[in-house]
Structure 1
């Protein structure tokens, strides 16, 4: 129960990670601090008078047992830095969160974790690369860590879920869904991994939260893979955190004509390891690839359609019909079957791209 009192303090404006640790150290535990009288709080000189007054006002309004019951009902768990289940990689970073809130299950101490991050307005190429790498790394035992955002993040989570586990680190409370279209994705992640935040449940999204969130993404991971990032972007902030934390940085190269490749190509120039397949990551950590492949055999008509599609540029049904000489109804049916098998991905305007996967070209 002590961790819920710590969480209650965490909800007081002006008490950050350092303040939480000072409270616990001074009073010998969060519960003791919660029930400390006014005189003891002010005489401790841990905080300014303003923050002490905020704390006392907050304490009058909060029922810790009620909060605990509400969070448990939502399947929200708490983990403090002193708990055994707190991720070791994150614990060994500069100023780690004193408390984590999460839905799902955290990785074990001996599990491998790798971050995949990149642009929100990603291209089909970028999302394809993220999904492929995440799926193959998850199949080989990696937990894939990302930020739950649109674009590369969502593709990485979805790819990892096909074969294994993933962690979404949010810039809001774990019960606040952002972007809203990712509600089902977050629920699936909580079932096969974890949705994590350093912010208390109910905390709304704020722009200032995302840079801080990025340090947790890199801190949870042995290394960070950047896929599509502008020269000034959140993904490069994550790469900087990874370097500061002594972690590896990898980058997937992109077109020299694309603004979304300026950041990744810059990282490669600066010494980041170039990645064009999951084997590059597996070799780095001396892990054997999972060679068990799904059945990717295609019929003649399926191969006709699949060979027309691109990994990067979505192609419409009319163009596919022209190139294959198949009827629109046959093309539509086969595209649906390929999409259900995870071999193609439908884009806006009834356009399709290949989904990158080993064992089929």
Structure 2
């Protein structure tokens, strides 16, 4: 299929190559692009403007860059994008597209282009963002998965960032409910990062939705990931932070959510856990403390027909000695030497018992010889 035919067949009513040209012109960016669109209309009209007209709104260097003929790299990007759009389930949405998510139009810096892979309908669904640490504890992962599953069962879509740790657990949990999930990625839509989530990304593309604002072929660049967080929160009514250190990218997402007028929720943790510090800071700053998915549903006033969250679980059968040891461990991280003093057992005997509990998924071992119960 020739390039011109592919351009016409993938976007019937829109010259998406002009939108793409605008998005990749060096020096333009989202803010200047929106300003120019407000003045001239569609991208084609920007490129048809005279130098004098452009100079009324942008510096001369940028005006010359806009009017310069596209180079070979642009035409390669056009060809790459056209081939990508030929694949069923792949979409390119501009600010002028009817399918562009309305929630993003309300944020201060909506992307002018979105590359979407999967279910377009999810972009207009009621959504909660679930974010947290890449180096999450087992308890944090369990919380993220369970909260996301419960919210998805109630009909909410879950947005997150496909990162390791909390993000991954959020997507996995959300896929178990009817609400499904959106992964907002910091690379081109044709690249999976981190590589360990390749299989999950394929599942999301088939059953859920992947979104990126970056051109195809864009590799993983550190600066792009904090920037994509505004889309994760922008798609949602609120953001749930599961685990976060005091200096964390999740706090950036929470800050952006607050600036966008979204609710911010946080799960509290142990006062001794570094990964609870960020959540506690958010709660001090006004985030809503949540202990269950129902707390979120009540806050955003989901209709009763949607909010029948199933919270009952079958408690595992635990023998008396195991239950006694779990009681001694408590819910805060504790050093094995302290456990030995509390229990009266020697470290060797205690280590064997703790190994059994870890294999059962009852506890996890943290750095520094600390033990934490997983409830």
Judge same fold: TM > 0.5, yes or no.
Answer: yes
| Residues 191, 354 of structure 1: alpha-carbon distance in 2 compared, 3 angstrom cutoff | farther
Q: CA deviation at 1:43?
A: 4.8
Give the aligned partner of residue 17 of structure 1: 30
Contact 2:116 2:211 in 1 (8 A): yes
Give the aligned partner of residue 104 of structure 2: 90
Q: CA deviation at 1:153?
A: 0.7
Give the aligned partner of residue 132 of structure 2: 118
Structure 2 distance, partners of 1:81, 1:144, is 23
Give the aligned partner of residue 19 of structure 2: 6
Give the aligned partner of residue 134 of structure 1: 148
Q: CA deviation at 1:249?
A: 0.7
- 78-87 or 114-123, which moves further after superposition? 78-87
Give the aligned partner of residue 273 of structure 2: 258
| Residues 213, 312 of structure 1: alpha-carbon distance in 2 compared, 3 angstrom cutoff | farther
Out of 54, 60, 70, the residue aligned to residue 71 of structure 2 is: 60
Q: CA deviation at 1:285?
A: 2.2
Q: CA deviation at 1:192?
A: 2.5
Give the secondary-structure state (helix, strand or coil) at the position aligned to 1:225.
strand
Spell out, residue by residue over 1:116-149, the C-alpha distance to the aligned partner (whole angstroms, 9 max, x if none): 1111111001111000000110111011011111
Out of 203, 209, 212, the residue aligned to residue 224 of structure 2 is: 209
Spell out, residue by residue over 1:294-345, the C-alpha distance to the aligned partner (whole angstroms, 9 max, x if none): 9x769xxx8459x9698999xxxx758968xxxxxxxx9xx8xxxxxxx999
Structure 2 distance, partners of 1:106, 1:235, is 26
Q: CA deviation at 1:32?
A: 3.9
Structure 2 distance, partners of 1:228, 1:200, is 31
Give the secondary-structure state (helix, strand or coil) at the position aligned to 2:241.
strand
How do residues 231-246 of structure 1 correspond to structure 2 at under 5 angstroms? 231-246=246-261
| Residues 312, 115 of structure 1: alpha-carbon distance in 2 compared, 3 angstrom cutoff | farther
Contact 1:253 1:275 in 2 (8 A): yes
Give the secondary-structure state (helix, strand or coil) at the position aligned to 1:163.
coil
Structure 2 distance, partners of 1:270, 1:224, is 14
Give the secondary-structure state (helix, strand or coil) at the position aligned to 1:250.
strand
Q: CA deviation at 1:49?
A: 3.9
Give the aligned partner of residue 178 of structure 1: 193
Out of 90, 99, 120, the residue aligned to residue 106 of structure 1 is: 120
| Residues 355, 81 of structure 1: alpha-carbon distance in 2 compared, 3 angstrom cutoff | farther
Give the aligned partner of residue 296 of structure 2: 281
Contact 1:147 1:153 in 2 (8 A): yes
Stretches of structure 1 that go unaligned for 5 or more consecutive residues are: 324-331, 336-342, 348-352, 357-361
Contact 1:138 1:163 in 2 (8 A): yes
Q: CA deviation at 1:105?
A: 2.1
Aligned residues: 326
How do residues 31-50 of structure 1 correspond to structure 2 at under 5 angstroms? 31-34=44-47, 36=48, 40-41=50-51, 43-45=53-55, 46-50=57-61
Out of 145, 160, 173, the residue aligned to residue 159 of structure 1 is: 173
What TM-score do the two structures reach when normalised by structure 2?
0.75
Stretches of structure 2 that go unaligned for 5 or more consecutive residues are: 1-13, 334-351, 366-371
| Residues 42, 189 of structure 1: alpha-carbon distance in 2 compared, 3 angstrom cutoff | farther
Contact 2:122 2:181 in 1 (8 A): no
Contact 2:157 2:182 in 1 (8 A): yes
Structure 2 distance, partners of 1:101, 1:23, is 22
1:199 paired with 2:214, answer yes
Q: CA deviation at 1:229?
A: 0.7
Contact 1:308 1:320 in 2 (8 A): no
Q: CA deviation at 1:52?
A: 4.2
Give the aligned partner of residue 329 of structure 1: none
The CA RMSD over aligned residues, in Å, is 3.5
Spell out, residue by residue over 1:271-309, the C-alpha distance to the aligned partner (whole angstroms, 9 max, x if none): 221111111111112223335689x769xxx8459x969
| Residues 72, 268 of structure 1: alpha-carbon distance in 2 compared, 3 angstrom cutoff | same
Spell out, residue by residue over 1:204-258, the C-alpha distance to the aligned partner (whole angstroms, 9 max, x if none): 2222222221111111111111111111211111111111111111100111111
Contact 1:118 1:235 in 2 (8 A): yes
| Residues 98, 225 of structure 1: alpha-carbon distance in 2 compared, 3 angstrom cutoff | same
Structure 2 distance, partners of 1:303, 1:236, is 38
Contact 2:185 2:228 in 1 (8 A): yes
